[in-house]
Amino acid sequence: MPTSARRWVLASRPEGKPVRDNFRLEEIDLPDPGENEILIRTEYHSVDPGMRSRLSGDSYAAALPLGATIDSAMVGVVEKSNNEKFAPGNLVTGGFGWVSHALSNGRGVQKLDPSLFHGPLRPTAAIGALGIPGLTSYFGLLDLGKPKEGQTVLISSAAGPVGATAGQIAKMKGCRVVGIAGSERKCDYVRGLGFDGAFDYHDANLAEAIKTHCPDGVDIYFDNVGAGMLDAALLNMKEHGRIVVSGQVAEYNAAQPIGIRHVTRFITHRLRMEGLVVFDYFKQFPTAQAKMARWIHEGALQYTEDISEGLEGSADAFIGLFEGENLGRRLVKVS
């Protein structure tokens, strides 16, 4: 018999910061799984700041159509299966969005290995520390940043899942790491992860604060914010410094993006700036995930999850990202 399900869809395109009316919670009926199909019940789904750009137009992927389900990663349980690769009770992850249930032919669905997810490594890490945020940190820092022992790494949005992971990996590489965060509580958090320093951007002249905390300059700036924070970092870069562009959260809601002004520094200081879409590293995901899982089990890599209860709160959880509410990976517990 059909399964009663709920899903969030895009009701209207945001102008500036998203608001509740941009989203709509719908009830739908899903048919029983057909040939080779499975029915998945969502346990957790993510809310991702990088999704903001797709709500208004084309970005790293095509714009989300009006009326379409809001995209995100999820962890769920197979409830029914007509697919020999999956059995009822399997814990799985996939990209089905803000939904209570999903039908799938199995493509893009990954079974979680119970032997891997135990102790400090919870199944939700599959869409966090071992998912897109963690992998963005891993490949962005190691492949683009290329950190070397003794170098100084500056990270914006340092208390977020990407920034916090990148900072810890940089410490493993013997770097001095400074974080920029949005409150003293978040600064305390990143210091607790092993960062050598941190400051609240609300209470600081950015360029001067970076100079104070990085008196010898910055070798690698891991940028999750953009706008004025990026400009301030540029003024403090060492010669041959690298800027890794992971996100631009300060620009996502801007009608007219600020961009960068201090372009001359790229010439005078021979700087290199490069962005990444982590899916370009798809074939390398298993190797990176195995290494990061080992770090977590060894206690070398920590992660924090900010979990809200109930699918009905998904839109508010997403909106809160742009108010700086979250500490760590923001997830919604659906069931």
pLDDT tens-digit map of 61-85: 789 999 999 999 999 999 999 999 9
Residue with tokens 């490949």: 139
pLDDT tens-digit map of 155-193: 999 999 999 999 999 999 999 999 999 999 999 999 999
User: What's the mean pLDDT in 294-300?
Assistant: 97
pLDDT tens-digit map of 258-275: 778 899 999 999 999 999
- Dihedral (Cα; 313, 314, 319, 323), 10-degree rounding: 70
Which domains does the chain show, CATH number per domain? 3-128+303-333 (3.90.180.10), 132-279 (3.40.50.720)
pLDDT for res 114: 87
Reported as a pLDDT band with limits 50, 70 and 90, residue 57 is confident
Q: How far apart are the first and last CA of the chain?
A: 21
Count of residues for the chain? 335
Strands 152-155 and 218-223 turn out to be parallel
The answer, yes or no, to whether residue 257 has pLDDT greater than 90, is no
| CA neighbor of 317 nearest in space, from 127, 10, 98 | 98
pTM of the predicted protein model:
0.92
The answer, yes or no, to whether residue 229 has pLDDT greater than 90, is yes
Triad 181, 183, 184: Cα angle to 5°:
105
Contact 295, 319 (CB under 8 A): no
Query: Can you tell me the distance from the alpha carbon of 148 to that of 67, in angstroms, rounded to the nearest whole number?
Result: 47
Q: Which two tokens stand for residue 198?
A: 């941190």
Residues with Cβ < 8 Å from 228, sequence gap 6 or more? 206, 250, 258
